[in-house]
């Protein structure tokens, strides 16, 4: 797929003016997937919809990359009591700014996907959790939801069927951790966003103790595509192990930053050089953070032939994350950068678990000392030790997210760190 990206026509956010208006969306095949399902509920029983989506292998676009249909299949049999779908629009991972594009330019495709997901999982209430900083985008989504209610795609007895579902927006208020799915549920329940101990998993005990599934916004926007065109068609897009379109958020030192939609598995250098117009000011590329701040940065020389999909990035030594790519030029001060990332995680740690609460602050303080030129060589070992002691020791993955960039940066840019450190020689006592 070396060059056919050039002819790729966006599917998640097609270039259609005013697509956010329901009438325009309807004219462009909108809500057809939902209609198709509700018209032929024998073919499209909830279980069959789950299977179709599972086959399509839509890998969660929120960072974990888990098969969305498989996640849906974890929901227990309905027992007549409430069950919930929570749509995760918290999008707070630095470097990530893609879901807001869906809210602004193609909200109905997400709404349609969420309704189908609700149908497939026997859910009657959908909450869309969106970070509080996105207030203008929440308003845009709310407008689209209102339109969908007016047209009978949401609410009681949708399109004359006996299927009903409500959709509510819920605005966060400034807490990165609320993007973690159990923390998101706590926040939705009106509490401090403390991640929950798992098990029980959300499908067992989620919102208000009831079965709940949490899906990313972009993930759900893929669902109508699968239902309209079939999983076979969907699997043809991008690599078979990580199929479908992806919203690449490219930022940092590039000429044309922004969100681009291409199939998964795009060559990274193509994305940087051709799609985003290359490194700004004709400078050399130093490094790339491929999928948001928690994904380990890759040195320029590690990017050769690497593509934006889970497998290729794992091999290269990083992760797909949210596909929020931060491009860093040769003048970037890695120590300064890593300090700022640590500062972020220190600020955002909820403070519940010991290793994260204390470890993020310790990393931040040590890196601050280092970037201010007061570091010592032994601090590098200390930083690594702190990272190892944080990873895998907490309820949620924030500690890991905070440790990885530090650990891998030291590993991959050790000389830059060493340059910032004083060469103190300690007499052996």
Partner 1 sequence: MAETYTFDAKDLAEIEKLTAKYPEKQAAVLPVLWYAQDKFGHSDPAVQKLVSETLGVPEAHIRGVVSFYTQFYDKPMGKNVLDVCTCLSCQVCGGYDMLHYIEEKLGIKAGETTPDGQFSLQSVECLGACGYAPMLQVTNDKFVNHLTREKVDKLIEDLKAGNKPEFESNPMPQHEKGS
Partner 2 sequence: MPEIFIDNKRYEYEKPGKVLQFMLDNGLDLPFFCYHPSLSIPANCRQCMVKAGMPVFDREKGTFETDENGDRVIRFFPKLMTACSLDLADGIVVHTHHTDDLVKQAQADNLEFILINHPLDCPICDQAGECPLQILTYKYGPEGSRFEHKKVHKPKAIQLGPRVILDAERCINCTRCVRFTDEISKSYQLSIISRGDKNYPMTANDQEFDDPYSLNTVDICPVGALTSADFRFRARVWEMNQTPSIDMSNGKGCSTWLWTRDNMVLRVTPRFNEEVNDHWMPDAGRLAYRKFNENRISRPHMRPDETEQVRTSWNNARLTLLEELEKVSPADILVIGSPHASVEDNYALRTCFSRLGVSKFLFVPHIESGSGDGFLITDDQAPNANGVRSLGFEETEGKALAKLIETKKPRLIAILDDDLIGRTDLTREHFSEAWTVVWGTNHNDTTQAADLVIPVTTAAEHAASYVNVDGRIQRTVPAKETMYTNRRLNLEMSMGRLDHYGTKFDNWVTDANRVDCIPAWEFLIRLEDDGAASGWESSRQIMEEIAKAFPAYREVSYDRMDEENGIQLKLEQDSEVKTA
Residues in touch with partner 1 (CB under 8 A): 10, 13, 15, 82, 91-97, 100-101, 104-105, 131-136, 166, 168, 170-176, 187-193, 208, 249-253, 256-261, 289, 293, 324, 326, 328, 332, 336-337, 340-341, 344, 347-348, 350
Binding range to partner 2, per CB under 8 A, among 9-17, 72-80, 269-277, 348-356: 348-356
* Residue 208 binding target from partner 2, partner 1, none, CB below 5 to 8 Å by type: partner 1
For 48-64, b/e burial (b = at least 16 CB within 10 A) is ebbbbbbbbbbbbbbbb
The two structure tokens encoding residue 211: 């079965």
Which helix (DSSP H) or strand (DSSP E) does residue 135 occupy? helix 135-150
Toward partner 1, which CB reaches closer, 166 or 400? 166
Site for partner 2 contains 349 (CB under 8 A): yes
* Separation of alpha carbons 423 and 157, rounded Å: 72
Our finding on whether 392 is near partner 2 (CB under 8 A) is yes
**In the complex, minimum distance from the CB of residue 198 to partner 2, in angstroms, rounded to a whole number:** 9
Instruction: Please pick, from the candidates 24, 205, 357, 418, the single residue that binds partner 2 as defined by CB under 8 A.
Output: 357
If you ran DSSP here, which 8-state letter would residue 302 be given?
G
Question: Taking CB within 5 to 8 Å according to partner kind, which of partner 2, partner 1, none is near residue 268?
Answer: none
Q: Which residue from 86, 171, 179 is spatially nearest to 127, judged by alpha carbons?
A: 86
Question: Residue 93 or 309: which CB sits closer to partner 2?
Answer: 93
Of 258-297, binders to partner 2 (CB under 8 A) are: none
Cβ contact 428:379 at 8 Å? no
- Whichever of 192 and 256 has its CB closer to partner 2, that residue is 192
Q: Single out the segment in contact with partner 2 by CB under 8 A; choices: 25-33, 138-146, 305-313, 352-360.
A: 352-360
Q: Could you say which of 350, 370, 387, 403 contacts partner 2 (CB under 8 A)?
A: 350
Burial 340-371 (b: 16+ CB within 10 A, else e): bbbbbbbebbbebbebbbebbbbbbebbbbbb
Chain centre to alpha carbon of residue 122: 25
| Beta-ladder partners of 166 | 125
- Closest CB to partner 1 among residues 113, 172: 172
Residue 230 CB neighbour total at 10 angstroms: 14
**What's the Rg (C-alpha) of the chain?**
22
Among 369, 384, 411, 418, the residue binding partner 2 under the rule CB under 8 A is 369
Residue tagged 């026509």 (tokens): 9
């Amino acid at each position: 797929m070396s060059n056919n990206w050039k002819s790729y026509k966006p599917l998640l956010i097609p270039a259609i003016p005013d697509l956010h208006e329901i009438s325009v969306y309807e004219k462009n095949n909108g809500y057809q997937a939902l209609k198709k399902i509700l018209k032929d509920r024998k073919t499209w029983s909830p279980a069959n919809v789950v299977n179709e989506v599972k086959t399509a292998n839509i890998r969660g676009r929120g960072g974990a990359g888990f098969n969305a249909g498989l996640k849906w299949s974890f929901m227990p049999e309905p027992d007549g009591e409430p069950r919930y779908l929570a749509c995760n629009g918290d999008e707070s991972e630095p470097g990530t700014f893609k879901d807001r594009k869906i809210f602004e330019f193609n909200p109905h495709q997400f709404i349609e996907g969420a309704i189908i997901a609700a149908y497939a999982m026997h859910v009657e209430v959908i909450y869309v959790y969106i970070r509080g900083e996105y207030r203008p985008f929440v308003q845009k989504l709310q407008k689209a939801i209102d339109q969908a209610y007016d047209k009978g795609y949401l609410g009681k007895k949708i399109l004359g069927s006996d299927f009903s579902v409500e959709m509510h927006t819920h605005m966060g208020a400034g807490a990165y951790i609320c993007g973690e799915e159990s923390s998101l549920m706590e926040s939705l329940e009106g509490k401090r966003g403390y991640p929950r101990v798992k098990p029980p998993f959300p499908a067992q005990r989620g919102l208000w103790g009831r079965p709940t599934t949490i899906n990313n916004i972009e993930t759900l926007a893929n669902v109508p595509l699968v239902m309209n065109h079939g999983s076979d068609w969907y699997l043809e897009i991008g690599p078979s192990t990580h199929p479908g379109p992806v919203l690449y958020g490219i930022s940092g030192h590039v000429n044309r930053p922004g969100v681009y939609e291409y199939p998964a598995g795009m060559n990274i250098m193509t994305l940087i050089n051709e799609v985003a117009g290359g490194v700004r000011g004709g400078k050399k590329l130093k490094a790339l953070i491929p999928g948001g701040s928690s994904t380990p940065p890759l040195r320029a020389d590690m990017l050769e032939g690497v593509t934006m999909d889970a497998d290729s990035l794992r091999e290269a030594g990083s992760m797909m994350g949210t596909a929020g790519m931060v491009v860093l030029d040769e003048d970037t001060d890695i120590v300064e950068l890593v300090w700022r990332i640590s500062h972020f995680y220190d600020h955002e740690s909820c403070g519940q678990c010991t290793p994260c609460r204390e470890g993020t602050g310790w990393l931040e303080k040590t890196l601050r000392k280092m970037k201010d030129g007061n570091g010592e060589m032994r601090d590098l070992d200390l930083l690594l030790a702190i990272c190892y002691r944080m990873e895998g020791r907490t309820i949620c993955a924030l500690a890991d997210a905070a440790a990885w960039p530090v650990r891998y940066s030291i590993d991959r840019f050790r000389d830059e760190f060493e340059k910032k450190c004083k060469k103190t020689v300690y007499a052996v006592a």
